[in-house]
């Protein structure tokens, strides 16, 4: 109720809208929350947290909204590849429930539509990790390669993997390397045939 009162005082304040959406989401009113988050993002599309909250609400609203939720989560990572909230969203999503073939197809489509985006490959790697370790390692290595190609020292608004994410990537690739005998990683390259 307090959020609704704040909304009546500041109806065009994106942060008030995010608070109202969060209140609705906590009441398990995911569709209504998603509509409010969309209003906030219409006012300020650069709100990374808004995209994460919208993604979470859409994914929680049911299977018919899941694709849209995955795409919104990717939008958050495109805006800020170091977003802890977006990383946690995808980490929990794929660790808890795994990724369906449909999820992987959606993420693969996003990765192909944004070919130079390391975040797309990183999330695809997270989704593939449980199902196909070889393809997951390839996706993670593609993320690392694209991140290097978009180094912020050359492009002020380019992507740069923070030390924590780089450590996570190295740990995942090392774990996959130990688990997979038909696959080798040599100095950041793969020796495995096939496409993602």
**Distance between the two ends of the chain, CA-based, in angstroms?**
48
Mapped onto helix, strand or coil, the DSSP state of residue 183 is coil
Under 8 Å between Cβ of 183 and 137: yes
pTM, 2 dp: 0.68
Domain edges within the chain: 1-97, 115-196
pLDDT at 12: 81
Better pLDDT: 177 or 181: 177
CATH architecture entry for 1-97? Alpha Horseshoe (1.25)
pLDDT at 180: 43
């Amino acid at each position: 109720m307090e959020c609704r009162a704040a909304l009546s005082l500041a109806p065009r304040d994106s942060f008030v809208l995010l608070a109202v959406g969060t209140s609705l989401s906590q009441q398990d009113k995911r569709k209504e929350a998603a509509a409010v988050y969309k209003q906030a993002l219409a006012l300020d599309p650069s709100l990374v947290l808004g995209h994460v909250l919208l993604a979470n609400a859409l994914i929680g609203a049911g299977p018919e909204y899941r694709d849209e939720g995955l795409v919104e989560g990717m939008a958050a990572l495109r805006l800020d590849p170091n977003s802890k909230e977006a990383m946690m969203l995808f980490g929990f999503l794929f660790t808890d429930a795994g990724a369906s073939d449909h999820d992987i197809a959606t993420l693969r489509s996003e990765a192909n539509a944004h070919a130079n985006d390391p975040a797309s490959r990183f999330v695809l790697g997270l989704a593939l990790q449980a199902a196909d370790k070889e393809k997951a390692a390839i996706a993670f290595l593609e993320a690392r390669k694209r991140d290097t190609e978009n180094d912020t020292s050359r492009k002020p608004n380019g992507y740069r993997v923070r030390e924590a994410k780089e450590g996570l990537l190295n740990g995942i690739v090392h774990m996959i390397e130990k688990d997979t005998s038909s696959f080798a990683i040599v100095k950041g390259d793969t020796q495995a045939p096939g496409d993602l």
